[in-house]
Amino acid sequence: MSAAATEQNTQVRIATIGSVDDGKSTLIGRLLHDSKGIFEDQLSAVSKASRRYGDGSFNLALLTDGLRAEREQGITIDVAYRYFATPKRSFVLADTPGHAQFTRNMVTGASVSDIAIVLVDARHGVVEQTRRHVSIAALLGVSHLILAVNKMDLVAWSETSFDEVVTDVAGILSTLESSVPLHAIPICATDGQNVVERGPEASWYEGPSVLDLLETLDVAPAATVGARLAVQWTLREHGGSDYRGYSGRLEGGVLRVGDAVTVHPKGNTSVVTGLTRAGTPTDIAVPGDAIAIELADDLDVGKFDVIVASGATQPIDTTDIIADVCWLVETELNVGDNLIVRHPSGEANGKVVRIIHRLDLDTLKNSSADKLTLNDIARVEIKLQTPLVVDAYSASRAGGSAIAIDPVTNATVGALMIVGQSEAQDPANMAVVAGANTVAEPQGKVRSLLRGFFTLKINE
Ligand code: GTP
Ligand code: MG
């Protein structure tokens, strides 16, 4: 395996999610502080900012709440990424905002994460935003959900309060028919009990700390969908050589020199004769590698074509997609609306032909809807004017995610997780789910290692 592969296996991506003020930023600050993941100069900057913006006591949330507007309002707006490492693993933490207005940032953070830590204020228990965030995390296919029941100091470390929250969150996952494993921990983010070290107060709790879990949970995908690369550009050598390399980011599986490949959408086949990573020839590339592929045959391959290992599960070439969507703007989505769908295999104009169902956040059941509004989670069918080469999101996060763009304002309006195509397009019934009474397909079995593509634009 390449160095890149080793690094991927040990780097774990985490997002903190939950409602406003549940303590997400404070928890991350505590993780960084107690695991000695922050530097002296950052510490003194936080002390200074605490004096300026707070009551003077050391405010760990300021470690992640970087923007001035956030400090002044005491909330997280953007997604703040922090890197830290322990001897066992390295981590990328995405601190996402709890406020409903900023669900897009939460989706962005969670879409690239292996583990989501959902924070719940022990005093308030599960609220609508908790249900929304847990639903989205399940939909986005995180490998594990850590439930951190926070502010236990304010409920005198009551085991009953803790149990109530755990039962409620487990209930959300079972209603969604999600198979994401849940791990619950009572914590106090401000004094750090059960965050890095176990604390003395919850004598009834015998499980691991948050960091213990982060260091040990298995986040390797159980299987991969097979190698694929959406071509982003073609490299030609200067000086008359006839070198031609198709470059992009490898997703979904290992690719070797000598492998047979199929180029979508045309369906031409060839064999890999050369692989280059960072300018250096290699015999093997792994998911996450930025590579250039040379082929034995002189095929007409261009930007947005998808080169797929012939033995792998093949993506579908379709003008009709059924997708789960997180609707991210106040402007309503109605049946008949036009959207641009942006995917690694291209950008296509589309029209919403159906809202199959919408997730009701009170009952967590799917109900019918004729329009969508801010923060709705729904399943829609979109007809495209030009085909895209897509995977089901449950098989490949990279090949199955897309963003919806408003053709008039050019704003990102929705995050799409592709489920399949409609029955009419797909007599073989490949991934048809229309009408199924579940929003979260079990994601556990097949997950792409990769998460490169999902790039929601923030703060538009
Ligand atoms: P948003 O980013 O706005 O969604 O909030 P957040 O979830 O990041 O919450 P934040 O970390 O900013 O904490 C909100 C408030 O709760 C702050 O005043 C914290 O000091 C306080 N707080 C966080 N954790 C605890 C805790 O364990 N106990 C107590 N007593 N207070 C806490
Ligand atoms: Mg915050």
Domains 3-216 and 316-456 share a fold: no
What is the CA(113)–ligand 1 centre distance, in A? Answer: 22
Q: Could you say which DSSP state residue 188 is in? A: B
Cβ of residue 61 lying under 6 Å from some atom of ligand 1: yes
Furthest-apart CA pair in the chain: how many Å?
A: 76
The yes-or-no verdict on residue 177 having pLDDT over 50 is yes
Is the separation of the CB atoms in 286 and 4 below 8 Å? Answer: yes
Number of residues that make up the chain: 460
Q: Within 10 A of 413 (CB to CB), how many other CB atoms are there?
A: 24
- Higher-confidence residue of 442 and 16: namely 16
For ligand 1, atom 10, name the residue with the nearest CA. Answer: 23
How far is the C-alpha of 227 from the C-alpha of 17, rounded, in Å? 31
How far is the C-alpha of 23 from the C-alpha of 98, rounded, in Å? 9
pTM: predicted TM-score of the whole model, two decimal places: 0.76
pLDDT digits over 125-138, tens only?
A: 999 889 988 988 88
- Topology at the third CATH level for domain 3-216: Rossmann fold (3.40.50)
- Topology at the third CATH level for domain 316-456: Elongation Factor Tu (Ef-tu); domain 3 (2.40.30)
Cβ of residue 439 lying under 6 Å from some atom of ligand 1: no
pLDDT value for 444 = 27
What one-letter code names the amino acid at 347?
Answer: E
Which ligand gives the minimal distance to the CA of 106?
A: 1
Cβ of residue 71 lying under 6 Å from some atom of ligand 1: no
Cβ of residue 188 lying under 6 Å from some atom of ligand 1: yes
How far is the C-alpha of 386 from the C-alpha of 443, rounded, in Å? 28
pLDDT digits over 298-344, tens only?
A: 998 999 999 999 988 899 999 999 999 989 888 999 999 999 999 99
How far is the C-alpha of 224 from the C-alpha of 82, rounded, in Å? 28
Is the separation of the CB atoms in 104 and 114 below 8 Å? Answer: no
Q: Could you say which DSSP state residue 205 is in? A: -
What one-letter code names the amino acid at 58?
Answer: F
pLDDT digits over 120-171, tens only?
A: 999 999 998 899 889 888 888 889 999 999 999 999 999 999 999 999 999 9
The yes-or-no verdict on residue 25 having pLDDT over 90 is no
pLDDT digits over 36-95, tens only?
A: 765 555 656 666 666 666 665 666 666 666 555 555 555 554 566 778 888 888 888 887
For ligand 1, atom 13, name the residue with the nearest CA. Answer: 23
CATH tag, 228-309: 2.40.30.10
Q: Within 10 A of 35 (CB to CB), how many other CB atoms are there?
A: 18
CA atoms within 13 A on the CB side of 58: 14
Is the separation of the CB atoms in 70 and 77 below 8 Å? Answer: yes
Spans of all domains in the chain: 3-216, 228-309, 316-456
